Chain A
Amino acid sequence: MIAALILLYVVTLVYLSITERFRNFASIISLQGWLLFAVALLRLHAIHPAELIFISVETLLFKAILVPAILFAVIRRTKINRVRTSGSSQFGSLLLSLTALAVSVSLTYCIADSAVDQVFFAVALYALLSGLTLIVLRSRLFSHMVGFLVIENGVFLFSTAIGVEMPLLINIAILLDILMSVLMLGIFFTRIDHKIHADDADSLTNVKD
């Protein structure tokens, strides 16, 4: 069951590389939230029930509901619906994403050690590379935000792999998520559009040498 969920999670990452509509970005982040909720429930059933409830509720509330809701609100407010047309092509992005997947799997295969759950590690690495690719290739701030959330979700997924022994680590990862995601989305939502137009990252080039 967990393998199927993780496979679906990988598919969301691949889809993220080719989609250009921000509504799809927000929907994928929401779907990833639900997948992480299910993975956390299945993976961490052995931990103390109170901790399991805390982790599950936090994951569901913030990753699957609140953060995507803020993303949809940002889309409605800024009326920006898709990535810039002058950005990289869908084919190029897909190729890069698949290369990142191949690199992640190869690296994990090379290490091949029982200390770390290899599937979780490979997918976390792929999420990290996907998020970085999204930040580097797409020029709009919204894409950068989504890239950051993708990295966060990858880190959270990996924390569930070792969370049976150390639930504290998952709690820390969740707290990071809540704090930084909400804060950054808050700034994006309330400040950026007032002083700087949120249309694209080109408007954020005043602070340079």
Chain B
Amino acid sequence: MIVYLTLSILIAASAFLLRSERQLFAAGAAFYAVQAAFAVRILCGLYGTTSAGVFAFDAAGTLFYLLLTVVSAFAYFHSEAYLKGSDIRQTRTYSALLMLLTTAVAGAYFSNNLAVTWILLEATTLCSAGIVYHRRTAQALEAAWKYLFVCSTGIAVAYLGILLLCAATKCDSLSYEAVAAAIPAANPLYLKTAFLLILCGYSCKVELFPLYTVGVDANFAAPSPGSALISTGLVNAGFLAVFRVYKLLAASEVFPWVRNVLLLTGVLSLVIGALFLRRTNNYKRFLSYSTVENMGIAAIGLGIGGIGVWAAIFHVACHTLVKSSLFLQMAVVRQVYDGYRINRLGDYIRINRVGAVGLLTGMVVLVAFPPSPLFFSELLILKQVVAESNWWVMAAMILLVCIVIYSFCSRMIRLCYQPNQDQLHPSKADRALSWSALVPLGAAIALGLWRPEILTELISQIATL
């Protein structure tokens, strides 16, 4: 792991010094070669082992790392095309930060220690803020400032929770195993307070209620391929951090309370996501609120327990593929219209048929129409909700998902079919990018039709409490 981190950081740091787009492409190729080699190394030998005492190559880390590698590579090479012709100094900073963000997120996935997870999540804040500030406009500065400020406050709150957890369990080490072993003897009230602080603090990363707003602002201001990584890889890092604490508390008497808190957080996030999907007038914010909504569904899955936990992890994994594809498609939309205003844009099907089909298919998958993998996960969560006789959650979920479906259909169909209101003449679309962005979406649809045994097994291992 140390070799991987060193190599990745060195390549990323070298990108700060490069002078041409071709060199940046080469640096990206080298970086993703390291990622691919590391992924192969994990699958062929490292899986199940630990490294440097604070990293562990477990099922959760491996699954999300594989997804991260794919999404990050797409984001990087789409960015190269998307930012072609921009100021090279800005582009190289952006590219280096994208690589550093990928490295920090990968470290957070494999971290086996509460403090190390926290440090790496803090590192992601710095990288993401730089990506958000890429355009150097007043709006980008505002979004970057808010992101840095709220995330830092959130992370400080989460640190207070970690300190409390450490004090309550009287552990000598903050490794997850050591804390898990000491949890049953800890004071329940301290555990509850610690969980609340950690959940509130990390909610800025998971894009869950209450600190979801910074994620939405960050995705809005960052270049679309960067948003694809922030809205999936980074969100998954926050999800995994919360999930690992959730698993720690599974052995304690406060676990039913923890599940109720997650249910409430999930429903509130779903409410916010559904309502703001109707309200917003910007396609990137629209997709970001969809992330809030989907992470809300995942939180409900964790809260309801049973098969819901498996479904939540499967949901998050599939959401990574679908949402990254949609953000990459949105980058092409910006190339065409030079904006994201929902009430102005239209006629996309005539301008870029491939991109429009990608967006419409992504919409169908994201609103969980069969054979979407999200249909399968949401169905499992609903099944567990019914099994638990949790009728208020079921009613809220069905109502809010209906609002989400209506919002998605009306907005995406408008983009593709309504007459274009924009006074500017649309530019030519880069069809190669649209074709390329279909790949993760195709992978997600394939998972909806056929789930490999190894994936099912991997998720079952992760979901075992």
Q: A151-B153, A169-B163 are in contact. Are A113 and B217 (CB under 8 A)?
A: no
A180 to B159 CA separation, bound complex (whole angstroms): 14
Per a CB cutoff under 8 Å, which of A158, A180, A191 touches B152? A180
A158 to B168 CA separation, bound complex (whole angstroms): 13
Q: How far is the CB of A133 from chain B (nearest CB, A)?
A: 13
Per a CB cutoff under 8 Å, which of A135, A161, A184, A209 touches B167? A161
Q: A151-B156, A195-B138, A196-B142 are in contact. Are A209 and B280 (CB under 8 A)?
A: yes
Q: How far is the CB of B217 from chain A (nearest CB, A)?
A: 5
Against A, the Cβ 8 Å flags (1 = close, 0 = not) of B240-282 are 0000000000000000000000000000000000001001111
Q: A148-B152, A168-B115, A172-B115 are in contact. Are A209 and B168 (CB under 8 A)?
A: no
The interface residues of chain A, by DSSP majority, are classed as helix
Contact A176 B153 (CB under 8 A): no
Per a CB cutoff under 8 Å, which of A111, A162, A206 touches B163? A162
Which residues of A131-175 are within 8 A (CB) of B? 131, 135, 144, 148, 151-152, 154-155, 158-159, 161-162, 165-166, 168-169, 172-173
Q: A128-B160, A169-B163, A196-B138 are in contact. Are A115 and B145 (CB under 8 A)?
A: no
The chain B residue with its CB closest to the CB of A120 is: B167
Within 8 Å of chain A (Cβ to Cβ): is B157? yes
A40 to B141 CA separation, bound complex (whole angstroms): 37
Within 8 Å of chain A (Cβ to Cβ): is B139? yes
A196 to B145 CA separation, bound complex (whole angstroms): 11
Which residues of B sit under 8 angstroms from A204, Cβ to Cβ? 142, 145-146
Contact B149 A148 (CB under 8 A): yes
Question: Interface size of B by Cβ–Cβ distance < 8 Å?
Answer: 45
The chain B residue with its CB closest to the CB of A177 is: B156
A151 to B280 CA separation, bound complex (whole angstroms): 33
The chain A residue with its CB closest to the CB of B125 is: A180
Per a CB cutoff under 8 Å, which of A113, A172, A184, A188 touches B190? A113
Per a CB cutoff under 8 Å, which of B139, B143, B145, B168 touches A116? B168
Interface positions of B (Cβ within 8 A of A): 115, 118-119, 122, 126, 137-139, 141-146, 148-149, 152-153, 155-157, 159-160, 163-164, 166-168, 170, 172, 174, 186-187, 189-190, 193, 217, 220-221, 276, 279-282, 285
Q: A115-B190, A195-B137 are in contact. List 20 more A-B contacts (CB 8 A).
A: A111-B193, A113-B190, A115-B186, A121-B167, A148-B153, A151-B156, A152-B156, A155-B159, A161-B167, A162-B166, A165-B172, A166-B174, A169-B174, A172-B115, A172-B159, A180-B122, A183-B148, A187-B144, A209-B280, A209-B282
24 A-B pairs whose Cβ atoms sit less than 8 Å apart in the complex = A110-B189, A113-B187, A115-B168, A115-B170, A115-B190, A121-B164, A151-B153, A155-B160, A155-B163, A158-B160, A161-B167, A165-B172, A166-B166, A166-B174, A168-B115, A179-B126, A180-B122, A180-B148, A180-B152, A183-B126, A188-B145, A207-B139, A207-B146, A209-B279
